[in-house]
């Protein structure tokens, strides 16, 4: 059985300011760095062999802190990046026009072809996230990898592993530095292949965590 741990990056300056990040970048806050250290302490004893991260700065920094706790290095994979949110990147959520907010809502409300202009669809996001997850099969036998990615990206990955379409209504909350796990296995009582063991666990965090779209 292959076990893969999934971590969302720590709180960023733009998370706290309610600005849309997408594939633009914002540094971790002091709290975000602390959250990453707490994840590191949580997973230190789990036998993590590889830390694989989105190449954006906020995930890379989170991954470095976790990898240091686990005694391994960090590999970057651009397929783990957040959804490209096009013309709305870097914008404060509260500044959006009615039309812009309607574009943003198509990523959350189940719209089949939802996409922000100049951005990426959820189906495109799901395809590259599954490629990154399945690349774990190329690691040496006995590996236990941990992937560091982003809120929408991980939500779409977990949702599609559960059999939902990529555009399904967004109902899984993955807070900053939440921990999830998916297993690839053969079971007499579960579907063959990837199954979701845990999702969005924040029991290791001792301060309230922000979600990027909800305080």
Residues identified as active-site: 9, 82
Instruction: Check whether 173 is labelled as a binding-site residue.
Output: no
- Contact between 180 and 196 under an 8 Å Cβ cutoff? The reply is yes
Instruction: Check whether 129 is labelled as a binding-site residue.
Output: no
Instruction: Check whether 10 is labelled as a binding-site residue.
Output: yes
Instruction: Check whether 22 is labelled as a binding-site residue.
Output: yes
Instruction: Check whether 21 is labelled as a binding-site residue.
Output: yes
| Dihedral, CA of residue 72, residue 24, residue 149 and residue 143, to nearest 10 | -40
171 vs 87: CA distance, rounded Å: 24
Instruction: Check whether 116 is labelled as a binding-site residue.
Output: no
Instruction: Check whether 152 is labelled as a binding-site residue.
Output: yes
177 vs 33: CA distance, rounded Å: 10
Q: Report residue 8 CA to chain centroid gap.
A: 4
Instruction: Check whether 14 is labelled as a binding-site residue.
Output: yes
Cβ neighbours for 211, distance < 8 A, ≥ 6 positions apart: 151, 173, 174, 175, 176
Instruction: Check whether 82 is labelled as a binding-site residue.
Output: yes
Residue 70, CA distances (Å) to 35, 40, 65, 188 in order: 15, 7, 9, 33
Annotated binding site for substrate: 8-15, 21-22, 58, 60, 82-85, 104-105, 151-152
Annotated binding site: 8-15, 21-22, 58, 60, 82-85, 104-105, 151-152
């Amino acid at each position: 059985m292959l076990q893969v741990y999934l971590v969302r990056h720590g709180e960023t300056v733009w998370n706290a300011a309610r600005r849309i990040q997408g594939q633009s970048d914002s540094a971790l806050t002091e709290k975000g760095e602390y959250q990453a250290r707490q994840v590191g302490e949580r997973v230190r004893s789990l036998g993590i062999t590889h830390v694989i991260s989105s190449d954006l700065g906020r995930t890379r920094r989170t991954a470095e802190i976790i990898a240091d706790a686990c005694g391994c290095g960090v590999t970057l994979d651009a397929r783990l990046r957040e959804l490209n949110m096009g013309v709305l990147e870097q914008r404060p959520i509260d500044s959006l026009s009615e039309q812009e907010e309607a574009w943003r809502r198509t990523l959350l409300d189940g719209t089949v072809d939802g996409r922000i202009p100049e951005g990426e669809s959820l189906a495109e996001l799901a395809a590259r996230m599954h490629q990154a997850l399945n690349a774990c099969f190329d690691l040496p036998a006995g590996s236990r990898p941990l992937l560091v990615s982003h809120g929408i990206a991980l939500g779409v990955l977990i949702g599609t592993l559960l059999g939902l379409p990529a555009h399904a209504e967004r109902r899984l909350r993955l807070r900053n530095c939440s921990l999830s796990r998916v297993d690839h296995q053969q079971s007499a009582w579960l579907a063959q292949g990837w199954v979701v063991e845990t999702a969005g666990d924040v029991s290791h965090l001792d301060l309230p965590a922000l979600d990027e779209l909800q305080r």
